[in-house]
Amino acid sequence: MDDKHAMHARERSRYVRGFLFALALTLTAFGIGHLYGPQTPYVYLAIGVLGLLQLIVQLAYFLHIDRRRDSREDLDLILFSTMVLLIIILGTVWILGDLHMRMHMGMQL
Partner 1 sequence: MRHSDHQTYPGINLGDIDPRHQQRVETAQFGFWVFIMSDLVYFGLMFAIYITMIDAQAGGPGPHELFDLRSLFAQTVLLLTSSMTVGLASLALKYHLGLGRVYLWLVATLLLGFGFLTLEIMDFMNMAAKGGVPQRSGFLSAFYGLVPLHGLHVATGCLWLVILMIQMQVVGVTDQIKSRLMRFGLFWHFLDLIWIGIFTIVYFGGLAYG
Chain residues binding partner 1 by CB under 8 A are 4, 7-8, 11-12, 15-16, 18-19, 22-23, 26, 29-30, 33-34, 37-39, 43-44, 47-48, 50-51, 54-55, 58-59, 62-66, 68, 70-71, 73-74, 77-78, 80-81, 84-85, 88-89, 92-93, 96-97, 100, 105-109
Q: What's the min distance (Å) between Cβ of 22 and partner 1?
A: 6
Distance, CA of 91 to chain centre: 20
Check the CA dihedral 94-95-96-101 and report its sign: positive
Q: Residue 64 — left, alpha, or beta (φ > 0 → left; ψ -120 to 50 → alpha)? A: left
